[in-house]
C-alpha cells in the first residue's frame, strides 16, 4: 500500500503544484520519484510531528494541499492536539496519512500499533476517516480526499497487501461498497483486514451459508443508509476491524443502531482487538490470530452464531 501511495502521490504532484508532501523522517527512497519532479514540494519535517501538523495546517490555510505521511501513532496520537485544533477546528484540507496501521507493525511492539485511532478521531468534528483495504482503493480514496476542502485521516497498511478492490469501482466517500452479495449472513469489514473477511466468507460458503460482504472504506461519515438496508435484511452481522472493539467501526454501528427508531432484530458480532496492550510480540498474522481476527475464527464464530 505504501508503494501505491508513493506512486499515486507522485502522479498527482505532476498535475498539481499545490500538493505539498510532508514526511516525518520516514519513507527512505520511497519518494525519490516524487522529489525528482521539477518544482514538486516535498518537506522532510524531521521527527517533530506536532510541528509538522501545525505546518501542514498553515499551508492549508494558505490554499495549498498538504499531505502528511508518517507511521500511524506518530501522525495521530502523538500530535492529536494539533490535529484537533490546527486542522479540524480551522477546518482546513490537511490529509493525514498513517502508514503501518492497525497491527501492520505488530512485531515493533505496542508503541507502533494503532488500535485506537478510529475511536479518538470519530469524536473530532470536521474530520473524515478513511480506511482503504488495498492499493487500488487507496488511490481512489486519496483522489476523493483531495477534492474535499476539509481534513481527512487515511489509515493505510504497509506493503504487499492483497488487492481485493475492483479497479472499476466508483468510490464515493461516505458510501460503503458491496463486495459480494449474499442472503444468510453479512460480514462488514474495513481496511486491510478485508482479505481475512473474504476468506472467512469462503469458508462459510463451503458450509452452504450465503454471505454478503460490505466494505466500509469510510468510517466517518458513516453510511447509515447502507446500514439500514443491511440491518433490515440480515439477522446476523459480523463486524471486523483491525482496531480496538471500543469506539471503532463496531462502536460506530452500535451507536447508530441504539438511536434508530426502528428496532432491528439483528445479532451483531464484533471482531476487533481487546482493551489491552499486546505484550507478546510476533508477526501481524500472529497478532491477528491472537485477537481472533483471522479468517478461521471469523468463520467459526459467525457459523456457530448462525447455527443457533
Partner 1 sequence: MKILELKKKAAIARSRIIMNSHKTNTPHLGSCLSCVDILIALYFSKLKINLNDINSLSRDRFILSKGHGAAALFQILAMRGFYSEELLNDYGQDGSVFAEHPPAPDYLPGIEAATGSLGHGLPIGLGMALASRITDNPYHVYVLLGDGECNEGSIWEAANMASAQSMDNLTVFIDSNKWQATDRSKDLLGNPSHVDKWEAFGWNTYEIDGNDMQEITKVLAKKPKKAKPTAVIANTVKGSGISFMEDDNNWHYRIPTFDEVKLAFNELSIDL
Q: Return residues touching partner 1 (CB under 8 A).
A: 17, 20, 41, 43, 45-46, 48, 50-64, 66, 81-82, 85-86, 89-91
What are the backbone dihedrals phi and psi of residue 291, each rounded to the nearest 5 degrees, phi first? -100, 15
CB of 74 to partner 1, least distance (A): 13
Instruction: Between 90 and 203, name the residue whose CB sits nearer to partner 1.
Output: 90
Neighbours of 146 (CB within 10 A): 17
CB of 82 to partner 1, least distance (A): 7
**Nearest by Cα to 167 from 193, 194, 137, 142:** 137
DSSP code, position 183: S
The span from the CA of 119 to the CA of 18, in Å, is 31
CB of 215 to partner 1, least distance (A): 35
CB of 42 to partner 1, least distance (A): 11
Cβ within 8 Å of residue 12, ≥6 positions away: 19, 142, 143, 146
Buried/exposed 229-258: b ≥16 CB within 10 Å, e otherwise: ebbeebebbbbbbbbbbbbbbbbbbeeebe
Question: What is the number of residues in the chain?
Answer: 308
State CA 110 to chain mean position distance: 18
Instruction: Between 20 and 30, name the residue whose CB sits nearer to partner 1.
Output: 20
Instruction: Between 53 and 293, name the residue whose CB sits nearer to partner 1.
Output: 53
Instruction: Between 58 and 292, name the residue whose CB sits nearer to partner 1.
Output: 58
Which residue's entry shows cell 521527527?
A: 47
CB of 109 to partner 1, least distance (A): 23
Under a CB-based contact definition with an 8 Å cutoff, are residues 21 and 67 in contact? yes
Instruction: Between 55 and 240, name the residue whose CB sits nearer to partner 1.
Output: 55
Instruction: Between 41 and 238, name the residue whose CB sits nearer to partner 1.
Output: 41
Amino acid at each position: 500500500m505504501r508503494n501505491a501511495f508513493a506512486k499515486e502521490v507522485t502522479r498527482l504532484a505532476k498535475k498539481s503544484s499545490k500538493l505539498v508532501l510532508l514526511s516525518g523522517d520516514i519513507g527512505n527512497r520511497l519518494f525519490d520519484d516524487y522529489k525528482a519532479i521539477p518544482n514538486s514540494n516535498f518537506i522532510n519535517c524531521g521527527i517533530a510531528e506536532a510541528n509538522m501538523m501545525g505546518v501542514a495546517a498553515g499551508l492549508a490555510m494558505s490554499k495549498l494541499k498538504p499531505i502528511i505521511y508518517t507511521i500511524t501513532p506518530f501522525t495521530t496520537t502523538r500530535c492529536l492536539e494539533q490535529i484537533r485544533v490546527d486542522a479540524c477546528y480551522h477546518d482546513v484540507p490537511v490529509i493525514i496519512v498513517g502508514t503501518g496501521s492497525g497491527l501492520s507493525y505488530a512485531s515493533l511492539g505496542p508503541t507502533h500499533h494503532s488500535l485506537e485511532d478510529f475511536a479518538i478521531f470519530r469524536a473530532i468534528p470536521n474530520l473524515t476517516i478513511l480506511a482503504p483495504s488495498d492499493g487500488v482503493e487507496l488511490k481512489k480514496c486519496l483522489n476523493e480526499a483531495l477534492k474535499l476542502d476539509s481534513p481527512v485521516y487515511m489509515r493505510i497498511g504497509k506493503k504487499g497487501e492483497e488487492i481485493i478492490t475492483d479497479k472499476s469501482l466508483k468510490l464515493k466517500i461516505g458510501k460503503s461498497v458491496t463486495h459480494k452479495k449474499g442472503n444468510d449472513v453479512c460480514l462488514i469489514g474495513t481496511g486491510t483486514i478485508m482479505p481475512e473477511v473474504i476468506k472467512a466468507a469462503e469458508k462459510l460458503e463451503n458450509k452452504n451459508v450465503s454471505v454478503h460482504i460490505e466494505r466500509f472504506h469510510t468510517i466517518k461519515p458513516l453510511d447509515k443508509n447502507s446500514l439500514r438496508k443491511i440491518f433490515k435484511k440480515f439477522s446476523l452481522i459480523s463486524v471486523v476491524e483491525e482496531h480496538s472493539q471500543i469506539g471503532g467501526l463496531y462502536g460506530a454501528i452500535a451507536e447508530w443502531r441504539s438511536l434508530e427508531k426502528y428496532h432491528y432484530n439483528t445479532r451483531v458480532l464484533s471482531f476487533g482487538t481487546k482493551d489491552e496492550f499486546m505484550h507478546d510480540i510476533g508477526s501481524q498474522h500472529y497478532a491477528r490470530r491472537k485477537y481472533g481476527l483471522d479468517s478461521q475464527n471469523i468463520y467459526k464464530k459467525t457459523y456457530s452464531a448462525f447455527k443457533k
